[in-house]
Chains A and B, each alone.
Chain A
């Protein structure tokens, strides 16, 4: 089955700096890669996703890149703000036959210091 590894487990940056979180996956058939943000005591919520037919996707200060050959994908946050502080999870899934299962990484705790 799919296995997703996520690094680093914790990340501390100064406000305004960039943050990068990296994930690798094992199943070459995976074709959907979302990123979730979880604030303290809250549910995880989708912030951006990318599918295997695309190499990069941006949404304002957030971008995701995908390297299918190397089986890794990354989340990039630019101009970080204190409200970006949260736990971020990557996930991978193979979508086939109308269904899939999302397997998550262990999470990265991002702290943005003013």
Chain B
């Protein structure tokens, strides 16, 4: 089934540890995004990529990094996790000005 796959679905992490959330899409969409969802704050954009080889900062980029080596993959890395990064993370993709499709989400808890 075509779509966006995120891994892991859930993770508990000790503060200070490094963590990479994986995102893969098979729709050949040019643009990909990472959002975090926190209660009362909606979906906030962390980083985005308009096309393979390019990335940009969103609303809340500090503490996160991304790479876009190819069209399909867009991993999000937390170099040294902190408790404030406890959240649900959604990867998304779209082609041009079409619909934004979301993955199932990754629930991350930093202790």
Residues of A whose CB lies within 8 Å of any CB of B are 1, 6, 9, 32, 34, 42-46, 49, 89, 91, 95, 98-107
Pick out which of these stretches binds chain A: B17-25, B75-83, B97-105: B97-105
Residues of B whose CB lies within 8 Å of any CB of A are 30-31, 33, 35, 40-45, 48, 50-51, 56, 58-59, 90, 96-97, 99-100, 102-105
Kindly list chain B residues whose C-beta atoms are within 8 Å of the C-beta of A34. Answer: 99-100
Asked if A44 contacts B40 (CB within 8 A), the reply is no
Q: Which of B42, B58, B96, B105 meets A101, CB within 8 Å?
A: B58
Number of A-B contacts (CB under 8 A): 52
Q: State whether A103 and B45 are in contact (beta carbons under 8 Å apart), knowing that A32-B97, A44-B90, A98-B96 are contacts in the complex.
A: yes
Q: State whether A107 and B42 are in contact (beta carbons under 8 Å apart), knowing that A43-B103, A44-B102, A101-B48 are contacts in the complex.
A: yes
Extra contacts, 7 of them, besides A89-B43, A104-B45 (Cβ < 8 A), are A43-B90, A43-B104, A46-B100, A49-B99, A95-B97, A104-B42, A105-B42
Asked if A43 contacts B105 (CB within 8 A), the reply is yes
Asked if B90 contacts A46 (CB within 8 A), the reply is no
Q: How far is the CA of A98 from the CA of B33 in the complex (A)?
A: 15
